[in-house]
Amino acid sequence: MPYQGDECAMLPSVAVEGPVRPAVRTGNIRYAVRDIAVLAEEVRRSGKPMLYLNIGDPNAHDFAPPEAVVEAVCRALRDNRNGYAPSSGIPEALEALRADACARGMRGVQHAFITNGSSEAIELALSALVNRGENVLTPTPGYPLYTALLAKLEAENRPYFLDEERDWAPCVEDMAEKIDTRTRAIVLINPNNPTGASYTRSALERIVELAVRHNLVLLSDEIYDQLVLDGEPHVPTAALRDDAKVVTFNGLSKAYCCPGFRLGWGLVSGPAAEVGDYCEAIRKMERARLCANHAEQYAIAPALATPAAYGQEVRAKLARRRDITCARLNAIPGISCVRPGGAFYAFPRLNLDVSDDEFVAELIRQTGVVLVPGSGFGQRPGTRHLRVVFLPPEEQLHLAFDHMAGLAARWQ
Residues in contact with ligand PLP by CB under 6 A are 56, 117-119, 143, 189, 193, 221, 223, 251, 253, 259, 264
143 vs 390, beta carbon nearer ligand PLP? 143
What DSSP string describes 80-127?
T--SPPPSS--HHHHHHHHHHHHHTT---EEEEEEEEHHHHHHHHHHH
Output the CA angle 23-24-25, nearest 5 degrees. 90
Q: Is the dihedral of CA 68, 69, 74, 75 positive or negative?
A: positive
250 DSSP assignment:
E
Please state the closest distance from residue 290 (CB atom) to ligand PLP, in A: 18
Q: Which is nearer to ligand PLP, 217 or 332 (CB)?
A: 217
CB hemisphere CA count around 322 (13 angstroms): 23
| Residue 153 Cβ vs ligand PLP, minimum distance, rounded to whole Å | 17
**By C-beta, is 264 or 368 nearer to ligand PLP?**
264
- Spatial contact of 342 and 197, defined as CB atoms under 8 Å apart: yes
What's the min distance (Å) between Cβ of 187 and ligand PLP? 9
- HEC-encoded secondary structure of 271-306: CHHHHHHHHHHHHHHHHHCCCCCCHHHHHHHHHHCC
Question: Which residue, 221 or 356, is less far from ligand PLP as judged by CB?
Answer: 221
Q: How big is the chain, counted in residues?
A: 412
- Least distance CB 271 / ligand PLP (angstroms): 26
CB of 222 to ligand PLP, least distance (A): 9
Residue in the shown chain whose Cβ atom is closest to ligand PLP: 117
**Least CB distance from residue 265 to ligand PLP, whole Å?**
9
Q: Kindly report whether the peptide bond that precedes residue 19 is cis, defined as omega within 30 degrees of 0.
A: no
Q: Smaller CB distance to ligand PLP: residue 55 or 354?
A: 55
| Residue closer to ligand PLP, measured from CB, 66 or 352 | 66
Number of other CB atoms surrounding residue 371 within 10 Å: 24
Using DSSP's 3-state secondary structure scheme, residue 134 falls into coil
